[in-house]
Structure 1
Amino acid sequence: MSRLLTDDEVERQLESLPDWRVDGGRIVAELEAPDFPTAITLVDEIALEAEDMNHHPDIDIRWRTVRLVLTTHDAGGVTQLDVELAHRISDAAAKWKARARG
């Protein structure tokens, strides 16, 4: 099991992940794709990355907006696994021209 990161460690890690924010012991991103098919393609790529890591995000799709929540349930909060998957998700989002909402 991965070690739970401290609040300071999470904040420091998120400096290189501008699409992500802390929300109650989780990290969250809301990404807006150019259109619905692209949002689905993005989710498909995220699913492959998550399966490769054996670490799966909560995903909610609303039209072209994809909301992702990462936490390591066994650890009770954010671990390095969450941060690594967030980086992979952000890379995929950039590839498909999905941008943070807001």
Structure 2
Amino acid sequence: MTYVLISLPFLALALVLWVVRGRTYPGWIATTALVMAVVVVLTAIFDNLMIWAGLVGYGDAQNLGIYLGLVPIEDFFYSIFVVLVVAAFWDGRKLTSTTRTGADHD
């Protein structure tokens, strides 16, 4: 079985979750796209380094043969999945900080 066949059901589920649960705050598409870009770039950098160093490897028969540097394109599926799922469940509210009072200090 190829990495694509294993990954597609999970990516489809993540995309459905993202579409159904999305739109909870203004700019959700742009925010997801920005986070996706950052995560994919970091994945490309560090996965290339790990493959180059010989820490991981992929069987040629299990992937499509499309590479970004040394990284098979299927290696990005996990990163895409995680960004979509986290974005689907993120409510978009700004985190509020609590102010410390004098009683909180020792």
**What range is the shorter-chain TM-score in?**
0.3 to 0.5
The structure in which a higher percent of residues are strand is 1
**TM value normalised by structure 1:** 0.43
The structure in which a higher percent of residues are helix is 2
Q: Greater RCO between the two (CA within 8 Å, min separation 6)? A: 2
